[in-house]
Structure 1
């Protein structure tokens, strides 16, 4: 899946941060390209890229949902998918890095056959693949940062994959982070506000339950504590 985020190289020093699912995909001479080759090299360069903990917003916003079928987009090494599977969800984890997916499968096997049996892993790039429509009770995408013009189509495909009564949880770095020292790539069109996602959802089909810039603390490259914000959108399909 082409995506960009706390999985981005600017955040490699933030080892204390929770696992973030994402990869960036850019185009143009002056825009960094975090494509499949970049992420495969990144995963192959070390034995673990992320912390192994689930994203905090998934824990906060999905803990009370009844288990069903879930799609974890940009699943990386599998922390979010495993968290869901341990709570009874049947999960499809999708990522563009085969090395990340192999690690996710290894981590699942370590949890035992009951958890591993609830998980399926698929290699795919969101810019070229769409999930089946209406197939999931939860679609979760954390820090899947795509260029403007691409993000809209991917968001529409992910929303279409949510079953009636299901939940879309779409989280990214808020555009305001570009005004901090946290070191986001200087590509403003790859960031958004939660309200942008909410506005893209047809109110006749969706009840937006959360659309906010949720603050948290991070550490920048100079070791300073910085308050940043995540754009968190949670919506229920009517």
Structure 2
């Protein structure tokens, strides 16, 4: 998405979390559940983890999860969620301004859900770093909105939504080392904040790295 807000990314997201209550439902993203529900646990990295719902769900299934986010407030809420769910021992929380810093290590699953922002974000660099962080035999899962929701008749800012092919082109992963397992646009039903029934389309990329 195009940067349109005068605040820097860290200021924008910290204010958004700090100045309101819980932003998200506390439930894991449905496409994460769909794509990895039958995976055995390992080490996972959740990029842009927000209030921690995806990371806590993974940890509840035996994964050891590192959640990374730009907002201190979001990470504090994520840690509380993990404690309430009894999975604090399987979760770690790190603050990163993605595009500038990135978690260390390699992971059996790198989960990147909706890394789209109305403020500055070097999305291409972050996704390439995400791919680099996938361990041999591991999986990179990317989910991004493919367009505005049906009820958004006047978009609030200019945005360029990635296509299935554009993300693959930007990642430039060698065919010999990676297998695309899911490449799909998914329609899901939603209700707008004003209570209007509608829908939106999301793009899904699940890509497995070859084993050692």
TM-score category of the 2 structures, normalised to the smaller one: 0.7 to 0.9
1: CA distance between counterparts of 2:84 and 2:149?
41
2:58 paired residue among 84, 88, 93:
84
1: CA distance between counterparts of 2:113 and 2:135?
19
2:114 paired residue among 130, 143, 155:
143
How far off its partner does 1:66 sit? 1.2
1:167 paired residue among 139, 150, 167:
139
Q: Which runs of 5+ in 1 are unaligned?
A: 1-23
Q: Which runs of 5+ in 2 are unaligned?
A: none
Aligned partner of 1:156 in structure 2 is: 128
Partner of 2:138: helix, strand, or coil? strand
Residues 101 and 149 (structure 1), Cα distance of their counterparts in 2 relative to 1, 3 Å cut: closer
How far off its partner does 1:220 sit? 3.7
2:14 paired residue among 40, 45, 63:
40
How far off its partner does 1:48 sit? 1.2
2:35 paired residue among 57, 61, 64:
61
1: CA distance between counterparts of 2:100 and 2:52?
21
Q: How many residues are paired up?
A: 205
How far off its partner does 1:93 sit? 0.2
Moved over 6 A (4+): none
Residues 100 and 143 (structure 1), Cα distance of their counterparts in 2 relative to 1, 3 Å cut: same
1:197 aligns with 2:170: no
How far off its partner does 1:44 sit? 1.4
Residues 50 and 149 (structure 1), Cα distance of their counterparts in 2 relative to 1, 3 Å cut: closer
2: CA distance between counterparts of 1:98 and 1:152?
24
1:218 aligns with 2:187: no
Further displaced range: 147-156 or 59-68: 147-156
How far off its partner does 1:187 sit? 2.6
How far off its partner does 1:37 sit? 1.1
How far off its partner does 1:130 sit? 2.6
How far off its partner does 1:154 sit? 1.2
Q: What whole-Å deviation, never above 9, does each CA across 1:44-86 have from its counterpart, x for those lacking one?
A: 1223111100000111001111100000001111100000000
**8 Å CA contact 1:75, 1:81 repeated in 2:** yes
